[in-house]
Amino acid sequence: QVQLVESGGGLVQPGGSLRLSCAASGANFSIYTMGWYRQAPGKQRELVADITSGSTTNYAGSVKGRFTISRDNAKNTVSLQLNSLKPEDTAVYYCNARRNFVAYWGQGTQVTVSS
């Protein structure tokens, strides 16, 4: 079992930055692929970025070059740096841990980009 707790969301103006963090508890954090997903009102949840146990990263095209995912296996955390934010980045952002078709989710943190 893995428990995930996100933090760092909030209200930011277009062009601004935020840093989301996800703290994981439970066994063997380092073996999981960690990801950030988001869900905007009326839309399906979508992958934003993920990072494998070997630190290979993958980004959605809409955020590539603006967002950066990283992990710290010593601290059992995964972070998402959000730069050059746009109103269309507004969503609830969820932390995810997955391995071998088993997935765990955090409760989500709201990111709102508005002037």
Q: What is the DSSP string of 28-96?
A: -GGGSEEEEEEE-TTS--EEEEEE-TT--EEE-TTTTTTEEEEEETTTTEEEEEE-S--GGG-EEEEEE
What rounded mean pLDDT belongs to the chain?
96
As a whole number of angstroms, the distance between CA 92 and CA 36 comes to: 10
- The two tokens of residue 18 are 């935020």
**With bands split at pLDDT 50, 70 and 90, how would you rate the model's confidence at 60?**
very high
Find the mean pLDDT for residues 69-77. 96
As a whole number of angstroms, the distance between CA 13 and CA 8 comes to: 15
Q: What is the pLDDT of residue 40?
A: 97
* Residues paired with residue 49 on neighbouring β-strands, in sequence order: 36, 59
